[in-house]
Chain A
Amino acid sequence: MAKKQGDIKKTTTTLFFVTILMFGFGYAMVPLYDTFCQITGLNGKTQRVIETKGEEVVVSNREVRILFDANVNGDLPWRLKPTIKAIKVQPGKFYDATYSVTNMSNEAVVGQAIPSVSPQIASLYFKKSECFCFVNQLLEPGETKDMLVRFEVDRDLPEDVGALTLSYTFFRAKGDNS
Chain B
Amino acid sequence: MSTLAHEHDHHHAPSGLKRWIFSTNHKDIGTLYLIFALMMFFIGGAMAMIIRAELFQPGLQFVDPQFYNSMVTVHALIMIFGAVMPAGVGLANWMIPLMIGAPDMALPRMNNMSFWILPFGFALLISTLFMNGGGPAGGWTMYPPLVLQLNDAFPFLIFTVHILGVSSIMGAINIIATVFNMRAPGMTLMKMPLFVWTWVITAFLLIASLPVLAGAVTMLLTDKYFGTSFFSAAGGGDPVLFQHIFWFFGHPEVYILALPAFGIVSTIIPTFARKPLFGYASMVYATASIAILSFFVWAHHMFTVGMPIKGELFFMYATMLIAVPTGVKVFNWMATMWKGAMTFEAPMLFSIAFVILFTIGGFSGLMLGITPVDFQYHDTYFVVAHFHYVLLTGAVFSLMAAAYYWLPKWTGYMYDEKLAKIHFWLSAIASNVLFFPQHFLGLAGMPRRIPDYNIQFADFNMISSIGGFAYGISQLLFVYIVIKCALGGKKAKAQAWEGAKGLEWTVPSPAPFHTFETPPKLTKAMLEN
B173 within 8 A of A: yes
B248–A29 CB distance below 8 A:
yes
A4–B227 CB distance below 8 A:
no
A157 within 8 A of B: no
B512 within 8 A of A: no
A8–B207 CB distance below 8 A:
no
Asked if A1 meets B227 with Cβ closer than 8 Å, knowing A19-B211, A25-B212, the reply is no
A30 within 8 A of B: yes
B308–A8 CB distance below 8 A:
no
A23–B234 CB distance below 8 A:
no
A53 within 8 A of B: no
A26–B176 CB distance below 8 A:
no
A1–B207 CB distance below 8 A:
no
**List of A residues within 8 angstroms of B227 by Cβ:** 174-175
Cβ contact of A22, chosen from B182, B212, B236, B308, cutoff 8 A: B212
- CB neighbors of A among B3-25 (8 A): 3
A18–B207 CB distance below 8 A:
yes
Cβ contact of A73, chosen from B181, B182, B234, B306, cutoff 8 A: B234
**List of B residues within 8 angstroms of A121 by Cβ:** 308
B275-319 CB contact bits vs A (8 Å, 1 = yes)? 000000000000000000000000000000011100000000000
A8 to B183, CA, bound (A): 12
Which residue, of A1, A22, A26, A33, has the highest number of chain B Cβ atoms within 10 A? A26
A171–B207 CB distance below 8 A:
no
A12–B177 CB distance below 8 A:
yes
Cβ contact of A11, chosen from B3, B176, B248, B308, cutoff 8 A: B176
B235 within 8 A of A: yes
- CB neighbors of A among B183-223 (8 A): 207-216, 219
B234–A174 CB distance below 8 A:
yes
A26 to B210, CA, bound (A): 10
Cβ contact of A43, chosen from B1, B106, B240, cutoff 8 A: B240
Cβ contact of B233, chosen from A22, A120, A171, cutoff 8 A: A171
A115 to B87, CA, bound (A): 48
List the B residue with the shortest CB-CB distance to A42.
B308
**List of B residues within 8 angstroms of A40 by Cβ:** 308
B338 within 8 A of A: no
A174–B232 CB distance below 8 A:
yes
A154-178 CB contact bits vs B (8 Å, 1 = yes)? 0000000000000001011111000
B215–A27 CB distance below 8 A:
yes
B182–A4 CB distance below 8 A:
yes
Which residue, of A2, A4, A37, has the highest number of chain B Cβ atoms within 10 A? A4
B212–A4 CB distance below 8 A:
no
Cβ contact of A8, chosen from B181, B216, B219, B238, cutoff 8 A: B181
Distance (Å) between the CB of A162 and the closest chain B CB?
Answer: 18
**List of A residues within 8 angstroms of B2 by Cβ:** 1-2, 4-5
Distance (Å) between the CB of A167 and the closest chain B CB?
Answer: 12
Which residue, of A7, A25, A37, A174, has the highest number of chain B Cβ atoms within 10 A? A174
Q: Is the interface of B mostly helix, strand, loop or mixed?
A: helix
B503 within 8 A of A: no
A33–B244 CB distance below 8 A:
yes
B335 within 8 A of A: no
A42 to B215, CA, bound (A): 23
B212–A112 CB distance below 8 A:
no
B436-459 CB contact bits vs A (8 Å, 1 = yes)? 000000000000000000000000
B177–A26 CB distance below 8 A:
no
A15 to B3, CA, bound (A): 22
B173–A15 CB distance below 8 A:
yes
A106 to B238, CA, bound (A): 30
A174 to B222, CA, bound (A): 13
Chain B interfacial residues counted at CB < 8 A: 41
**List of B residues within 8 angstroms of A29 by Cβ:** 212, 241, 244-245, 248
**List of A residues within 8 angstroms of B306 by Cβ:** 120
B140 within 8 A of A: no
**List of A residues within 8 angstroms of B159 by Cβ:** none
Asked if A7 meets B208 with Cβ closer than 8 Å, knowing A29-B245, A33-B238, A112-B234, the reply is no
A110-124 CB contact bits vs B (8 Å, 1 = yes)? 001010000011000
A20 within 8 A of B: yes
List the A residue with the shortest CB-CB distance to B237.
A30
Cβ contact of A173, chosen from B210, B214, B219, B234, cutoff 8 A: B234
Distance (Å) between the CB of B301 and the closest chain A CB?
Answer: 15
B207–A4 CB distance below 8 A:
no
A120–B308 CB distance below 8 A:
yes
**List of A residues within 8 angstroms of B244 by Cβ:** 29, 33
B207–A15 CB distance below 8 A:
yes
A30–B3 CB distance below 8 A:
no
Which residue, of B176, B211, B308, has the highest number of chain A Cβ atoms within 10 A? B211
List the A residue with the shortest CB-CB distance to B246.
A26
B208–A15 CB distance below 8 A:
no
Distance (Å) between the CB of B138 and the closest chain A CB?
Answer: 16
A20 to B210, CA, bound (A): 11
A138 to B106, CA, bound (A): 61
A1 to B3, CA, bound (A): 8
A26–B245 CB distance below 8 A:
yes
**List of A residues within 8 angstroms of B210 by Cβ:** 22
A114 to B211, CA, bound (A): 31
Interface contacts beyond A12-B177, A22-B209, A174-B235: sample of 13 additional A-B pairs, CB < 8 Å, sorted by A:
A8-B107, A8-B182, A21-B211, A22-B208, A23-B214, A25-B212, A26-B211, A29-B212, A29-B244, A33-B238, A114-B233, A171-B232, A173-B234
Chain A interfacial positions (CB closer than 8 Å to B): 1-2, 4-5, 7-8, 11-12, 15-16, 18-27, 29-30, 33, 37, 40, 42-43, 73, 112, 114, 120-121, 169, 171-175
| 23 chain-A/chain-B pairs, Cβ below 8 angstroms | A1-B1, A1-B2, A5-B2, A7-B180, A11-B181, A16-B173, A18-B208, A21-B211, A22-B212, A23-B211, A25-B215, A26-B211, A26-B212, A26-B216, A27-B219, A29-B241, A30-B241, A169-B233, A171-B233, A171-B234, A174-B232, A174-B234, A175-B227
Q: Top 3 closest A-B pairs, CB basis?
A: A26-B215, A171-B234, A1-B2
